[in-house]
Amino acid sequence: MFPVQASLARSAFAFWDPLGLGRAAVDYWQDACERSVLYFDVMRERGNQYLEHIDKTAPNVLGFDAEVLLDGRTLTHPVNYELMRIIAPQDIEIDEDKRPFVVVDPRAGHGPGIGGFKPDSEIGVALRAGHPCYFIGFLPYPVAGQTVEDVVEAEVQFLRHVIDLHPQTTERPMVVGNCQAGWQIMMAAALEPDCFGPILIAGAPLSYWAGERGRAPMRYTGGMLGGSWLTALMSDLGDGHFDGAWLVQNFEKLNPANTLWSKQYNLYANVDSEANRYLDFERWWGGHVVLNAEEIQYIVDNLFIGNRLSTSQLTTRDGRRIDLRNVRSPIVVFCSQGDDITPPPQALGWIGDLYDSVDDIQANEQTIVYCVHDTTGHLGIFVSGSVSRKEHAEFTANMDYIDILPPGLYETTVTEKTEDAANPDLIDGDYILEFSPRDLDDIDAIVQTNAEDERRFASVARVSDINLGLYRRYFRPWLQAVMTPEAAGLMRRMHPLRMGYKLLSDRNPATSALPVMADAIKADRHQVADDNPFRVFESMLSDQIVSGLNTYRDIRDQSTEQAFMAIYGQPWLQTLTGLGASDDSRRHLNCPGAEPEHRRFVEQRKHELCARIDRGDSHHAVMRALIYVLGGAPSTDERNFQRLKATRAEVEPNIDLASFKALVREQFFILKLDSHAALDALPTLLDGERAEQIEAYLEHIEHVLAASGPLDERCEARLATVQELFGRAKPAVEPESSPASTTRKKPAARKKKTPPSGSSS
């Protein structure tokens, strides 16, 4: 840019500038001018990309080809969702016998596709693992009258269609729900648990009142605005539609330093290398969608403000209760300390809301696994390539292992495989997935439940109902009488976020010279070195701007929190909203208790299991022994499962994975119910087996246990107990054997026994 002027300036400074500062200034000035032109040209491309994207009938940002299998607009209760099959790239081979993999994208202001945004994504990981992949996305505008419940029912029908497409596998689909889609599929799984395999919810808020003081500022928004009346107002201004751009704007306000400076400055400072990445992300970030007024009002009233999902207060139109304790699939919760939209307390708080103890989780036959990342942000949970290559790859590769984990609460960690790791051939990839048993105290340490804060949020919910009622009674009729579809459409088009894209596009005549100037600069680019003193000063100035905006954010959030605590902590306000009428904290905080029908179910289940303690065969004995020994271990990892999977075919050849999972759960509960009686029954379960067969079962158990390294003292003691009980089961006198049978170390096939009535085999 300006080569003649720059050349003359350099010549003038050559004599008078022995330190080179003048030359450095000229070089920096030329580079800064060129970067400015290139920056605005990228913004022009962003605007053109936005206009092209919104003109599509079904826009998405998937990085893979896909075909629509089922259109939600054709269902009995039509919705703007659709089921798509992902077409694998030519260099990837799909095994149709593997468990189907379904990704559900969030409809929280942005368009669909973020779960398959690039090769290193949730869909990309599953494709490389050979799974048939499906994607549930949506269109920009809702069907008239569609509700959240309609969407949930549509997702259930989509999953049933996926199951019908894979009759050869008995395993239900693994379902991934990102952000808003996480609570949506949890609702669906609570209503139709038989349609779901393992569920992975990534960055999904389920407990909206939870949060650590000094963090999670979004949870105060509803209270500071006086409840959900403003949501109703914006929906009425949209003539029955809510513009998702308002949700996106809320996200952007959380981090003003990034929104107002860092994101744009990073592009300007590195415009030669960052343009494509920036444009790819903006294609999704700017793809704003619209929700029905009924949908957003349901979400805000029942979830954001009412917190009714994690407390089992929601019911369907036909009277069914949405109770997350009905979910029968393993649930993997993936969250991050660096996530300011869905912090770990909001991702995990529902566990303490629904369950009194780990025993309660186990009584509900529920398996919950959680993983807390240290640093990644909200979008990084399901967009970051490093996260996909590590956590998502391990979750996908070990879903069968998670599927057979005994009921309970586990924390999982993903650590890098080291050179001295035991049995490295049993580790899938470059990382080890380890599971450690946890109890609710560990969850409480993350959630930091505060009863006084819970009472404040309960006050917000009731104040919101009052204000919403006043708005609907006295203001809405007047607004609806004057609002027209044309006016609502104009307001959406004039939204500041949308205008930011449109103003810098080819529709603006002032940008016509940008592409010509940018091409000329790219042909003769004069990029300054990073050690240029003026470039260094620019970076320092940027850091100061970021620091200042972060300070503003911290003061704003701290002030908001203090105001919220002061206003909604007033005893008179809590009394006026009805919270002082009872001392039953679980009632006024909307916490579900142990219902009589649930207690009857647990007691009935105990009686059934008591009758099965000494009924079964070697399948039951081997699994009971393994669970008993591993139950004394502080943790277990994928190597135990890989060894078990590899050797099960030798010792237990006639059991499929679904039956194996049922067997694990049954034996776990039997040991939990009465461990002494369960162990004493081991010789009975092995009655009739030959001594060499019993030895083969013991070798199998020891082989599996040794997979993850040496056992600790407690597990060694438990293994010794199992060895003694298996030895007691050996017949006193071995029957005559043929020469062939005396020479083999393990039986080629186990003697088949007829399982007793009611057995899981």
Q: Is the pLDDT of residue 117 over 70?
A: yes
Pairing of strands 199-202, 331-336: parallel
Q: Which of 557, 588, 549 has the alpha carbon at shortest distance from 219?
A: 557
Give residue 12's pLDDT band: very low, low, confident or very high (50, 70, 90).
low
User: Which tokens is 515 given?
Assistant: 């592409």
Mean pLDDT value across residues 507-530: 93
Mean pLDDT value across residues 640-665: 63
Give residue 708's pLDDT band: very low, low, confident or very high (50, 70, 90).
low
Q: Is the pLDDT of residue 219 over 60?
A: yes
Residue 424: per-residue pLDDT: 61
Give residue 614's pLDDT band: very low, low, confident or very high (50, 70, 90).
confident
Coil, helix or strand at residue 422: coil
Residue 522: per-residue pLDDT: 93
Residue 31: per-residue pLDDT: 94
Give residue 59's pLDDT band: very low, low, confident or very high (50, 70, 90).
confident
Residue 742: per-residue pLDDT: 40
Residue type at position 600: R
Q: Which of 549, 535, 532 has the alpha carbon at shortest distance from 35?
A: 535
Q: Which of 178, 171, 176, 177 has the alpha carbon at shortest distance from 197?
A: 171
Please name the residues in contact with 201: beta carbons below 8 A apart, sequence gap of 6 or more. 176, 177, 182, 183, 185, 186, 331, 332, 333, 334, 347
Q: Is the pLDDT of residue 757 over 50?
A: no
Q: Could you tell me where the beta strands, DSSP code E, fall in 147-289?
A: 174-178, 199-202, 241-243
Q: Structural domain boundaries of the chain?
A: 65-209+307-449, 596-732
Mind giving me the DSSP string for 464-501?
Answer: HHHHHHHHHHHTHHHHHHH--HHHHHHHHHT-HHHHHH
Give residue 382's pLDDT band: very low, low, confident or very high (50, 70, 90).
confident
Alpha-carbon distance 397 to 384, whole Å? 18
Residue pair 72/154 in contact (Cβ under 8 Å)? The answer is yes
Residue 609: per-residue pLDDT: 73
Q: What is the pLDDT of residues 665-695, one digit of tens each?
A: 788 888 877 888 888 888 888 888 888 888 8
Residue 9: per-residue pLDDT: 59
Q: Is the pLDDT of residue 756 over 60?
A: no
Q: Which H helix or E strand runs over 431? A: strand 431-437
Q: Is the pLDDT of residue 748 over 50?
A: no
Residue 639: per-residue pLDDT: 62
Residue 746: per-residue pLDDT: 39
Q: Is the pLDDT of residue 407 over 90?
A: no
Residue pair 440/409 in contact (Cβ under 8 Å)? The answer is yes
Residue 169: per-residue pLDDT: 84
3-state helix, strand, coil in the chain (%, to 5): 55, 10, 35
Residue 15: per-residue pLDDT: 54
Alpha helices in 307-369 (DSSP H): 344-354, 358-363
Alpha-carbon distance 589 to 459, whole Å? 9
Torsional class of 312: left (φ above 0), alpha (ψ -120 to 50), beta (otherwise): left
Question: Which CATH number is associated with domain 65-209+307-449?
Answer: 3.40.50.1820
Least confident window among 21-30, 276-285, 468-477, 607-616: 607-616
Please name the residues in contact with 474: beta carbons below 8 A apart, sequence gap of 6 or more. none
Please name the residues in contact with 52: beta carbons below 8 A apart, sequence gap of 6 or more. none
Kindly report the length of the chain.
Answer: 761
